[in-house]
Amino acid sequence: MIIVLKPQCTEPQVKSFTESLMNDYNVKVNTWVGTQSTVLGLIGDTTSIDIDYIAAQDFVESVKRVQEPYKKANRKFHPDNTVITLPGGQKIGDGSLTLMAGPCSVECEAQICEVAERVKASGATFLRGGAFKPRTSPYAFQGLKAEGLELLKKAKAKTGLPIVTEIMSIAHIPLFEEEGVDIIQVGARNMQNFELLKALGKINKPILLKRGLSSTVEELLMSAEYIMAGGNDQVILCERGIRTYETYTRNTLDISAIPILKKLSHLPVVVDPSHAGGISWLVEPLAMAAVAAGADGLIIEVHNNPAKALSDGAQSLTPDQFDHIAAHILRSKEALSRLERAE
């Protein structure tokens, strides 16, 4: 962290400020005294320093971070990729491509079981499905809630596919644990629900953390840091599109976020082309682009009858379409891996 002090800052002020920084934050301070102003260079772990507090001191001209404010999610302190291993042996982030697929909402036993069997046959290794649904309108279908989790459990018992499903409230954590949810998803709208993130930091289950629709990459990593700071290192980042001025698509898939997240962090990155594009025919090209950009996995909406889906029908693939697309994607991933090995 670099702090530039105002020219009128007196020597005793510099001295007492430097001492307080060293004592309060356990950092070393290098001081350069120039003709116009004095510059302080802080060396050590500055993650706990509140940059706004520093900027608010009346003798401080400007302050700049040179170190990222996140530590546990930072690749600098953890150069190797994090590989998440499920109790059933499934791995995320090990260099393979993880396919998570299933309906937006769990609607009934026949639907979730049929979709689960079909996506498994097409190469999916995780079943997604919403039981608690965050909907823009309070009058829209809100999900089957606890019953939805029961149905997911039945589909898991039939297919062996681990379950990914969204949590919206701290109060539901015990239920998600009891029902054996394998990966707990934090949706885009809850990415900065810090109390929920802190509570998820205390449990021993992988968390799929979706990027908020107006959040920066750094804000996503800070949210991951909340979970990790609580002791849960099993975080999967998810790029699902951000809001821009473009209205053709539901969101704009930020392809550049994938290599950026992989560079800044060691956590696996999963991409959601369904919610990004919002249109079923866009799923394949967006998924292909995500794989080429280095995504560790994809989470895709598949419904046995998209026209009758209770939510997100327009972006859902039929099981036949998913079968076709999954084959393309997995072949592309293989080709990319072959190229990498040859280099």
Q: How far is the CB of 202 from Mn ion (least distance, A)?
A: 27
The angle subtended at Cα 104 by Cα 102 and Cα 108, nearest 5°, is 80
Pair 302, 119: CB distance under 8 Å: yes
* DSSP-derived pairing of the beta strands 269-271 and 235-239: parallel
Applying CB under 5 A, which of residues 68, 312, 317, 333 lies at the interface with Mn ion? 312
93 or 102: CB nearest Mn ion: 102
Q: Which residue is nearest to Mn ion (CB)?
A: 104
- Residue 166 makes contact with Mn ion by CB under 5 A: no
Q: How many residues bind Mn ion (CB under 5 A)?
A: 2
CA distance to 8, 20, 27, 30, 39, per residue, from 64 (Å): 20, 18, 16, 15, 11
- Taking the complex as a whole, the smallest distance from the CB of residue 281 to Mn ion amounts, in Å, to 17
Q: Which is nearer to Mn ion, 99 or 221 (CB)?
A: 99
Two tokens, residue 301: 């909406």
Distances (CA, A) of 227 to 180, 197, 199, 234, 284: 20, 5, 8, 9, 32
| 5 DSSP β-pair partners | 60
Q: Which is nearer to Mn ion, 40 or 287 (CB)?
A: 287
Please report whether residue 107 would count as binding Mn ion according to CB under 5 A: no
The answer to the question of residue 225 lying near Mn ion (CB under 5 A) is no
> Which region, judged by CB under 5 A, interacts with Mn ion, from 194-202, 218-226, 263-271, 308-316?
308-316
Q: Whole-number minimum distance, CB 108 to Mn ion, in Å? A: 17
Is 115 a residue that touches Mn ion (CB under 5 A)? Answer: no
Of residues 85 through 104, those in contact with Mn ion by CB under 5 A are 104
Q: Which residues bind Mn ion (CB under 5 A)?
A: 104, 312
